[in-house]
Structure 1
Amino acid sequence: MQRFSVTNNEPKKPDDKQDEVRKLSKINLTVHNIEQSKYDGQPLIKPKTPYQFKVKTYEPDKSLSFSKRTGQRLSFLQNSAVEYGKDIWGLRYDAVAYKTAEFYKRNFNRIRVTMSHVAYEARKIKQGFISLKNDVKYYMGVEKKKINTKYKADNFMEETKVRQIRKDVFKFIPFSIFLLIPGGEILLPPYLVVFPNSIPSQFLSEEARNKKFREIAKSREKAASKLNILLPHYLYNLESDSQIHESDLADIKKLKADMKKTEVLPTDLLHYKRLFKRYADFNFFDLHFLKQ
């Protein structure tokens, strides 16, 4: 019995994956040792600014006097600043970067403390401008209220604050010049030494504000003690004066009674401000005693 086998004469299709593997190039996995491939020839890239820098520090001569050492230090700082400026002008970036890094390394703590002081002063100036703006808005509101209100009762605290704001605005005019001009802050300390009360209250620190408040309170206490001595005698003379109107005699007697109290407040004397405006005469008082 014959067997018949059927054969497929069509060509076999190649496997796609195997074909892709055959086409891939071999990867060279050889590891080169870097130590064996050092280049000992001439530099391939010539630097634009060949530069070598040695740190120059000032070493004072202790045998010299303080004035001479100060002069030498200033001269050294001047020469260093001139050289640094020449490097910037000549676009020697490597020199500028190296000197700047060395300066920061030598003076890191000083720079940190200085920058913290600068940041603190900047915050204080910002707060001062905000306080000044609020005070000016308050002043404008009070003036607008005076215009709109024809018959308005006097407010002692309000008038005191308005006077203080007016003084601060006048003080701020020369004070702002030192803040607006670049580098003008350097001249501000000498200006404050010559004119110690020329700084606006908005730019005072909390410690300086408390110190000034204590000085004002002390001076007012001294002035009040002098007034407490002089005023009763002056009131006795007013009471016996024939030119005093009869309607004011009752107020003078009441003021005499209030002055005999153990505690007299400024608000108690405000009720008699009309009498002071009409009859107060400082020529009656002893000027030498008032100046003490």
Structure 2
Amino acid sequence: MEFLGAHAPELLPGTRLAAGTAAVPPTADLAPHATTIVALSFGTPEGGRGVVLAGDRRATMGNMIASREIEKVFAADEYSGVGIAGSAGIAVEIVRLFQLELEHYEKIEGSLLSLDGKANRLATMIRGNLPMALQGLAVVPLFGGYDRDRGTGRIFSFDVTGGRYEERDHHSVGSGSVFARGALKKLWRAGLDADGAVSVAVEALYDAADDDSATGGPDTVRRIWPVVATVTADGYHRVDDETLAAVVGRIVAERSEGSRRA
């Protein structure tokens, strides 16, 4: 799909042209796209493991910046969160419906759906978007939460067909995921505390923005920071902007000092 989109977009389903008609832009270029999302675990089995979810704030539409302040990480319910990559409008709609279904289940059953059940339900919703994905409007979420039955944080990734995969330690999705994943491999270590995990997530997004034009780095002029959240036994908690500003300031200072020494 990516190869056809780059070299022969008219052959994609939904954009295939009748003979003799004028070329039109691929459908995917007409809608804002959101990238990049990272997730990583932290803590110890003895002290309790949690999950950090983080996403940059840029949405692109072709080679244009559609938004500098889009939010891509949301609370699914009290003990889980979801980050979105792909077609922003469809992804946000799916997340809102997912939140509503989890809330409805809790009210009907009187208890929260299990973490595996939440991941399975999200996979089904992504599979329902497959016809749109074949036209270039794909949605690829990254889901993480605290499993109260197992007493640990868990991370799930998905593909456009609704395939669900549990990830170990860390993962990333989106156009900058290759660069973010490289940073996560180098920076993540077992036993990270919450503050350390937040710092690793922000630095991974920083690295992704450094090499991927569709990923937005921290904007110190407009004071736009990534959306970062932790999910633990205490629930979903969004990291405040003051904390993120301090983390970004430290990363920039360390890298500036390293550049001067080089």
Task: Please indicate the TM-score interval, normalised by the length of the shorter structure.
Answer: under 0.3
Pick 1 or 2: higher relative contact order, CA cutoff 8 A, min separation 6.
Answer: 2
Give me the TM-score of the superposition, normalised by structure 1.
Answer: 0.20
Bigger proportion of residues as helix: 1
Bigger proportion of residues as strand: 2
